[in-house]
């Protein structure tokens, strides 16, 4: 099986998930599922198909989409099994930081004034 994500790379997912993520759940098959879920969520959030129109997107928008998707995947992979972390609180803190940043990105992407910016310079 090959990685099929469009808006986020496996390296970005690994970076956000951190070194203590459980390798049992950190698989290419799960990365494909998580990338597809993130792509669907973001397309619906923005009322714009980010996968079909990815090439036309502004580079800054691509970076925000990629960051959001990587953080989404990281939260799911961290929550899968927190046993690898020194304390459960460490894993929870990481998830909280990811969720906080995702909320900020969502707020930007939902703003109507940004719709014309999506494909602009």
Q: Is residue 22 part of a domain?
A: yes
**Between 85 and 98, whose confidence is greater?**
98
At 37-81, the pLDDT tens digits run 999 999 999 888 999 999 999 899 999 999 999 999 999 999 999
pLDDT of 4 strictly over 80: yes
pTM for this predicted structure: 0.92
Q: Is residue 4 part of a domain?
A: no
Q: How many domains does the chain have?
A: 1
pLDDT of 121 strictly over 60: no
pLDDT of 113 strictly over 80: no
Q: Is residue 77 part of a domain?
A: yes
pLDDT category of residue 110 using cuts at 50, 70 and 90: confident
- For residue 35, what are the CA distances in angstroms to 24, 38, 77, 106, 121? 18, 5, 12, 16, 26
Query: Mean pLDDT over residues 15-24, rounded?
Result: 95
Q: Is residue 119 part of a domain?
A: no
Q: Is residue 121 part of a domain?
A: no
Note down the domain range covering 42.
Answer: 10-114
pLDDT of 107 strictly over 80: yes
Q: Is residue 69 part of a domain?
A: yes
Q: What angle do CA 59, 1, 81 make, to 5 degrees?
A: 80
Q: Is residue 2 part of a domain?
A: no
Cβ pair 5, 61 in contact under 8 A: no
Q: Is residue 5 part of a domain?
A: no
pLDDT category of residue 112 using cuts at 50, 70 and 90: low
């Amino acid at each position: 099986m090959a990685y099929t994500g469009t808006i986020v790379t496996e390296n970005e997912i690994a970076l956000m998930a951190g070194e203590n993520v459980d390798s049992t759940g950190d698989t290419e098959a799960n990365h494909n599922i998580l990338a597809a879920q993130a792509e669907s969520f973001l397309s619906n959030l923005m009322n714009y198909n980010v996968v079909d129109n990815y090439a036309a997107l502004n580079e800054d928008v691509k970076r925000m989409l990629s960051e959001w998707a990587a953080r989404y995947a990281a939260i799911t992979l961290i929550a899968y099994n927190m046993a690898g972390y020194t304390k459960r609180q460490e894993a929870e803190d990481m998830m909280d930081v990811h969720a906080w940043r995702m909320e900020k990105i969502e707020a930007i992407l939902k703003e109507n004034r940004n719709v014309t910016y999506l494909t602009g310079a």
